Structure 1
Amino acid sequence: MNAENMWEAFAKKNNLTEQTYEAWAFGAQADELAELVRRGEKTATASAYPLYELAGDPLPKEGEYSVILNSREEAVCIIRTTKVYVAPFCEITETHAFKEGEGDKSLSYWRKVHEEFFKNALERKGLNFDEQMKVVCEEFEVLSDVIF
């Protein structure tokens, strides 16, 4: 199913006429991370703030809906953002790392994989990573009533 079809069915079922959504896939391991979200194990994500600044993109906002895609751009599930905050990379908490649901869910694992991911993403844009870099932290809920 594609994002548009999933959203239309969800919006109709929930009488959402004024709401919009974004459709996107996780930048690394899209299939694995989408499945963690679908199962409710991943309820948070993090992005490099400098990339938002560079592109002039707005930060996510509480209450926004997203259709999560896999690597084939197939819709996997719908989420709603419940919390957004910005923190330096070096101040990301164990709680946030656990909510991301990846690896062993530890802060050390989170730092290792996110430092590597952020370094690569920033280098492609001519930017450098450092531990004071701002990170956009987003928490969300999986809308379990998405059944098609």
Structure 2
Amino acid sequence: MTIEQYWEGFIELFPEYQNKTYEAWSFGVDEDKLATLVRKGEKTATTSGYSSYRVENEKLPQVGEVSIVLNKAGEPQCIIEITHIYQVPFNEVSERHAYLEGEGDKSLNYWKKAHIAFFEPYYQSLGLNFDESEIMVCEEFKVLYV
């Protein structure tokens, strides 16, 4: 099924979203596993680095934005809507947020290790240095359609 067909199926059930714009994307690491966690409702949050938006010339996410989450093959898996966004230094991300990310054992310790392993090389690829005082963009979302 194409992204457009998936969106059309969603709009048939939720016509109030017909004038919304959306983006289709996959999570940066282990797209299939993370998409599955979202579909199951185990992953309801994600984190990105504030500095990356500036370097990649992208706009910051906003509450109410709708996205189609894709798997590694680019196939639609679900539609989500951002419900809450806040910014906090990496070293101040809460246990609650780590739990909502739904990965590993859902602990803050696991979250920190996994995210340092992701952000250090990612920031380096952008010509930036990552440290634990970096501002993070923390998003919470809900699944609208599977």
Name the TM-score, length of structure 1 as normaliser. Answer: 0.94
| CA deviation vs aligned residue, 1:69-109 (integer Å, no higher than 9, x gap) | 00000000000100111110000000000000000000000
SS of 2:141's equivalent in the other structure is: strand
- Tell me which amino acid in the other structure corresponds to 2:91: C
Shift of 1:5: 1.3
- Report the Cα distance in structure 2 between the residues aligned to 1:43 and 1:10, rounded to whole angstroms: 19
- 4+ residue stretches of structure 1 with deviation over 2 A? none
Aligned to 2:102: 101
- Report the Cα distance in structure 1 between the residues aligned to 2:2 and 2:121, rounded to whole angstroms: 29
- Report the Cα distance in structure 2 between the residues aligned to 1:123 and 1:87, rounded to whole angstroms: 21
Decide which moves more: 48-57 or 109-118: 48-57
Q: Percent same amino acid among aligned pairs?
A: 50
- Tell me which amino acid in the other structure corresponds to 2:19: E
Give the number of aligned pairs. Answer: 145
Spell out the pairing of 1:114-133 with structure 2 (5 A cutoff): 114-133=115-134
Instruction: Compute the RMSD of aligned alpha carbons.
Output: 1.0
Aligned to 1:7: 7
Name the TM-score, length of structure 2 as normaliser. Answer: 0.96
Unaligned runs of 5+ in 2: none
Residue 141 (1) aligns with residue 142 (2): yes
Shift of 1:62: 0.6
- Tell me which amino acid in the other structure corresponds to 2:39: R
- Report the Cα distance in structure 2 between the residues aligned to 1:98 and 1:134, rounded to whole angstroms: 19
